[in-house]
Amino acid sequence: MGKVRVTKQFSFEMAHVLWNYDGPCRNLHGHSYKLFVTVSGYPVKDISDHKLGMVIDFGDLKEIINETIIEEFDHAVIISSNVPRNNYSSMGTMIEKLQVVNYQPTCENMVMDFAERIKKRLPPNLELFSLRLDETSSSFAEWYASDNS
């Protein structure tokens, strides 16, 4: 049996602001994100294993993504650590779920961050093959392991 890729889609809502940007995304705004996670591996061959024939149980993949991405970013506001604290500290509970990251929170940077978070949690028999993060219905960023080795 050969190697197989499996993909699961996840959805979450998140707001961000692009600090020092010269377009409309410099204003706080939100998106309905879709994240497609593709892992590769060999299906289980041991007939006594309850995961027989699976590369990964989709429920196990869901648990990993929920813990590393969804719980942290869903309904959160994500901003760059470059934003001066006084620009947002007065908003109080309106941005109670604030994620300050060490990068500009573009779709491109977020997909790279997500890849690193997910790779740390995958079982050793699996590889993260690719991620696709849809920011809108017509705009997305992709990350491929083959481009980053």
The residues annotated with a catalytic role in the active site are 25, 75, 135
Q: How many CB atoms lie within 10 A of CB 13?
A: 12
Residues 63-66: contacts with CB under 8 Å, at least 24 apart:
64/118, 64/121, 64/122, 65/8, 65/10, 65/35, 65/37, 65/118, 66/10
Q: Rounded to 10 degrees, what is the CA torsion of 98, 102, 105, 110? A: -100
Q: How far is CA 116 from CA 19, 78, 81, in A?
A: 23, 17, 19
